């Protein structure tokens, strides 16, 4: 029997996506390993706040050039298409949840690079927007 405070706490955590926020912050800390972790965190939080207000894209570990490298690994012969299984696996590896399971070209099992890039970019933006919509 969860007491009301516990329920309030769970609701709050979900609404403001606190756990996702903490995950993102910690992974960025461990990747960049700054000398002064608290200042780094303050900076990242300010950036996030800014994008919450203006709607831009939040701080994230991956960027567009990383996507190109991923595509290069998945499609070494440069056929311009990847299979659905590869698409799904790659998006999960990047840490994107709830991505579009039926992108363009899924019926022929040929998903173009463009579609992949688009879906990945969308997904990354969503995963970095760890705040409740104002």
- Report the alpha-carbon distance of residue 78 to residue 72 in Å, rounded: 7
CB 111 within 8 A of CB 88: no
CB 120 within 8 A of CB 94: yes
64 binds other proteins (CB under 8 A): no
73 binds other proteins (CB under 8 A): yes
Cα within 13 Å of Cα(29), Cβ side: 16
Q: What does DSSP assign to residue 82?
A: E
124 binds other proteins (CB under 8 A): no
Interface positions, 17-46, toward other proteins (CB under 8 A): 18, 21-22, 25-26, 29-30, 33, 37-38, 41-42, 45-46
Q: How far is the CB of 29 from other proteins (least distance, A)?
A: 6
70 binds other proteins (CB under 8 A): yes
What crossing angle do the helices spanning 84-93 and 64-74 adopt, rounded to 10°?
140
Q: Which parts of this chain interact with other proteins (CB under 8 A)?
A: 5, 8-9, 12-13, 16, 18, 21-22, 25-26, 29-30, 33, 37-38, 41-42, 45-46, 48-49, 52, 70, 73-74, 86, 89-90, 93, 131
């Amino acid at each position: 029997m969860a007491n009301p405070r516990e329920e309030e706490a769970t609701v709050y955590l979900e609404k403001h996506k606190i756990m996702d926020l903490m995950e993102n912050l910690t992974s960025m800390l461990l990747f960049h390993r700054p000398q002064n972790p608290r200042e780094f965190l303050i900076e990242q939080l300010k950036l996030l706040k800014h994008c919450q207000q203006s709607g831009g894209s939040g701080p994230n570990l991956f960027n567009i050039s990383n996507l190109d490298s991923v595509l290069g690994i998945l499609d070494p012969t440069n056929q311009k298409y990847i299979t659905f299984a590869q698409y799904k696996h790659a998006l999960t590896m990047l840490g994107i949840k709830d991505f579009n399971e039926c992108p363009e070209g899924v019926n022929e099992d040929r998903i173009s690079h463009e579609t992949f890039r688009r879906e990945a970019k969308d997904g990354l933006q969503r995963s970095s927007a760890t705040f409740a919509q104002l």
